[in-house]
Amino acid sequence: MGLVHDLVVITAFSLIGGTIGYVTNVVAIEMLFRPKKPYCLLPGKKLCIQGLIPARKSALAKRLGEVAAKYAYSDTIRARYRERLEKEIVNTTRDVVLERLRRAGARSALAEILVPGLAELVAKAVSPIVMGLLEEASTRINVAEIVEEEFLSLPVSEIEKIFRQIAGRELRFIELMGFVLGAIIGLVEGIIALIV
C-alpha cells in the first residue's frame, strides 16, 4: 500500500499542478483580448483591468503603421514594386491598345502584323508617363496613416481572430507547456511532500 499511496500522491500533485499551469496559461492568453472594455474594480476609474490588445490598440495601430511605412518605402521594396508595376503597365496598355485596334477594324493581314508592334510601342511610350504619375502620387500618400486607420477600424474580435490565425499553434503550445511545466512542478512537490 505504501508504493501505491506514494504513486497516487505524486500523480495527484502532478495532475493538479498541470491543471493549474494549463488554466493559468489559458487565462493569460485570454487576457490579451479580454476584457474588451475597461473593467474598474474600484469606483472613480481606479484599479481598472482591460485586455492588452484593446487597451493598447491605438499604440499598436500607430506602431504597425510606422513599421508598414518603413518597409513599404524601403529601397528594395520600392525597386521590386516599380519593376512589377512597370511590367504590368506595359502589359495592360499593350492589351488595351491591341483590343481597341482590333475592335476598330484592323483585321487585314497587314494590320495583324503591324498592330502588335504598334501596341508595344504605345505601351512603352505610355509606361514612363504613368510610372512618373504613380510615383509622384505615391509620395503624397501616407502609408503609415492608412495602415493605422485600417487597424483602428477593426473590432477587437477581428484582431483576435487574425492573431489566432497567425499564432494559433504557438498559443496552443503555450497552453500545453503550462500543463507540462505545472505537472513537473507538481511532481517535485509530490516527492517533497512524501519525503517531508
| Domain range list for the chain | 2-195
What mean pLDDT, rounded, does the chain reach? 84
83-135 pLDDT, tens per residue? 787 778 777 877 777 777 667 665 555 556 666 777 777 777 777 887 787 77
Query: What residues pair up with 20 in beta bridges, in sequence order?
Result: none
Task: Return the sign of the alpha-carbon dihedral for residues 184, 189, 193, 196.
Answer: positive
152-189 pLDDT, tens per residue? 999 999 999 998 999 999 999 999 999 999 999 999 99
Q: Which amino acid belongs to residue 101?
A: L
Residue 47: per-residue pLDDT: 83
Whole-number percent of the chain with pLDDT over 90: 36
41-86 pLDDT, tens per residue? 887 777 888 899 999 999 999 998 888 888 777 778 777 877 787 7
Residue 91: per-residue pLDDT: 77
Task: Tell the residue number behind the cell numbers 500533485, with chain if given.
Answer: 13
Cβ atoms of 29 and 191 closer than 8 Å: no
DSSP string, the chain: -HHHHHHHHHHHHHHHHHHHHHHHHHHHHHTTT-SSS-EEEETTTEEEE--HHHHTHHHHHHHHHHHHHHHHTSHHHHHHHHHHHHHHHHHHHHHHHHHHHHHTT--SHHHHHHHHHHHHHHHHHHHHHHHHHHHHHHHT--HHHHHHHHHHHS-HHHHHHHHHHHHHHHHHHHHHHHHHHHHHHHHHHHHHHHH-
Q: Dihedral, CA atoms, 18, 23, 24, 25, nearest 10 degrees?
A: 90
